Amino acid sequence: MRNKLKEPDASPRGGLAAVGFGALAVVCCAGGPLIVGALGGVALGSVLGVGVGVLAVILVTVLIVARVGRQRATLAPGVETRRDGGA
C-alpha cells in the first residue's frame, strides 16, 4: 500500500462559494457606509430646507408688517392717536 497524499477537492462548488462569500462581504462593507451617507445627506438637506423655509416666512412677515405700518403712517400724517381715552 502506498501512502498517497489526498489532493484537495477542486470542485467548482468550493470556488463559487468562496466567490459568493467574497461578493457578500464587499457588498455589505461598501453598502453600509453608502446607505448611511445617503441618509445623512437627505437628513442634512431636510434640515437646511426647513431652515430656509422658516427664514423665508420670517422675512415675508417682516416685510408685510413694515409695509402696512408705512401705509398707515402716510394715510393720516397729521392725526395723533390718544391712548388715554381722550380725557
* Local confidence pLDDT in tens for the 87 residues of the chain: 566 666 555 555 567 778 888 888 887 788 878 888 888 888 888 888 999 999 999 999 999 999 988 887 777 656 566 666 655
pTM of the full predicted structure? 0.45
Using CA atoms, how far apart are residues 87 and 79, in angstroms rounded to an integer? 17
Using CA atoms, how far apart are residues 3 and 50, in angstroms rounded to an integer? 77
Using CA atoms, how far apart are residues 75 and 61, in angstroms rounded to an integer? 21
Helix (H) / strand (E) element for 74: namely helix 12-75
Q: What is the pLDDT of residue 4?
A: 62
Q: Taking CA 7 as the corner, what is the angle to CA 14 and CA 11, rounded to the nearest 5 degrees? A: 25
